[in-house]
Copies of this chain bind each other. A is one copy, B any other.
Amino acid sequence: MQWNNKLTALLNISYPIIQAPMLGITTPEMVAAISNSGGLGSLPVGNIDPAHVRTLIQQTRALTSKPFAVNVFTYDIPIAPDHSSFDAMQAHLQHIYSRSGLGVPEINLKTLQLFSYKDILPVLLEEKISIVSFTFGVPDVKSLAQLKEENIIMIGTATSIEEAVYLEHQGMHVIVAQGMEAGGHRGTFLAGTFPQIGTMALVPQVVDRVSVPVIAAGGIMDGRGVAAALMLGAQGVQPGSAFLLTHESMATDAHKAAIAAATDTTTRYTRAFSGRWARGLSNTLIAAVEESGLAILPYPYQDALTQPARKASKAQDNPSFVAMWAGQAAGLAKKSMGTAEVFHKLVEGAEQLIPSLKGQ
Contact = CB atoms under 8 A, between A and B. Distances in A.
A222 B233 CA distance: 11
A200 interface: yes
Contact of A332 (B179, B208, B219, B224): B208
Contacts of A197: 181, 264-265, 328
Contacts of A200: 179, 181, 198-200, 218-220, 225, 228-229, 329
A201 interface: yes
B264 A201 contact: yes
A327 interface: yes
A264 B161 CA distance: 7
A198 B180 contact: yes
Contacts of A331: 205
Interface string A189-206: 000110111111110110
A205 B265 contact: no
A283 B263 CA distance: 35
A221 interface: yes
A192 B160 CA distance: 29
Contact of A201 (B181, B196, B204, B231): B181
Interface string A82-110: 00000000000000000000000000000
A249 B60 CA distance: 57
Given A181-B200, A205-B329, A227 B219 contact: no
Given A198-B180, A198-B200, A160 B264 contact: yes
Interface in A47-72: none
A161 B332 CA distance: 12
Nearest to A164: B264
Contact of A225 (B1, B204, B220, B329): B204
Contacts of A218: 198, 200-201
B233 A224 contact: yes
A10 interface: no
A198 B219 contact: yes
Contact of A221 (B181, B204, B225, B264): B204
A353 interface: yes
Nearest to A202: B264
A161 B263 contact: yes
Given A225-B232, A228-B232, A329 B201 contact: yes
A264 to B, nearest CB: 5
A162 interface: yes
Contacts of A201: 181, 199, 218-219, 264, 327-329
Nearest to A200: B219
A202 B233 CA distance: 20
Across the A-B interface, give the 4 residue pairs with the lowest CB-CB distance, nearest first: A198-B198, A200-B219, A201-B328, A201-B219
